[in-house]
Structure 1
Amino acid sequence: MPKFMFLQRGSCDQKPPEMTPEQMQAGMQAWMDWVKNGTEAGWLLDPGSPLSGAGAVVQPDLTVNDGPFVESKELVGGYSIVEASDLAEACELAKQTMQLAGGGKIEVREFANLSQ
């Protein structure tokens, strides 16, 4: 079955919403329920992780630059890996995930099957 990566993307200018401790706890519980349900159903292969703002870019000439860059309009904030029968099904799973993403959008990309 094909595998897909969900890339959580957000604007560089996007600030996280202000949340009470209760809202943060409810959000964490929703995330844990999503992971549990997806794992038990078999479509969630890797819940992924949020990504920090720190990073680097290795250039073709093998130099290393700090990144990601401010001039980017969007940053990747995290990822998940799922299994679905096709892109349409993966997008339906991403719609469920949207509620947990806290804004931004989710890019759905299929892993290339190089064994064919």
Structure 2
Amino acid sequence: MNKFMLVFHSPYSQETAFAELSPDAMQAEIQKWNNWIGGIAGQGKLIATDALAPVGKIMTKGGQVITDGPFTEGKEIVGGYMILTAASLDEAVDLAQGCPMFEMDGTVEVRPIINFE
């Protein structure tokens, strides 16, 4: 089996809308993600998944320049990732098909992980 990373991109407007949901609506959205991730885990293909905080640091010029980021004025946010196993890129794409990110006009980037060992 090969490893793949799914990177979840969403419009910034959707991220702010999510933060403003009622507790019940937020729980319903979280449950959609739990159901989708649970389906992949149930197949024994999930390695890891996490959400990313909307704050951090951006390093450039060999690590000498450090600025705040990602910037909230950006149009798109990387909200999280998943690492999974699949026999091929096509299978990894098939596993990504049910991602709740698509309901919020987001995208899922599916990338093979290269093992340098």
> If the TM-score is normalised by the length of the shorter chain, which range does it land in?
0.7 to 0.9
| Distance in 2 of aligned mates of 1:72 and 1:100 | 18
Segments of 5+ residues of structure 2 without an aligned counterpart are none
Deviations 1:35-76 (A, max 9, x none): 333222111111x22212111012234231111135644221
1:1-116 maps to which residues of 2 (within 5 A)?
A: 1-14=1-14, 15-16=16-17, 19=21, 21-46=23-48, 48-63=49-64, 64-69=66-71, 72-97=74-99, 99=100, 102-103=103-104, 104-115=106-117
Considering fraction of residues, name the structure with more helix: 2
Structure 2 counterpart of 1:27, which letter? E
Partner-residue secondary structure (3-state), 2:39: helix
Number of corresponding residues: 113
**RMSD of the TM alignment (CA)?**
2.4
TM-score by length of 2: 0.77
**In 2: Cα distance, 1:10 partner to 1:33 partner:** 19
Structure 1's 21 and 2: CA in aligned 2 closer, same or farther, altered over 3 A?
same
Local SS of the residue matching 2:87: coil
Contiguous gaps of at least 5 residues in structure 1:
none
Percent identity over the alignment? 35
Distance 1:55 1:16 in 2: 21
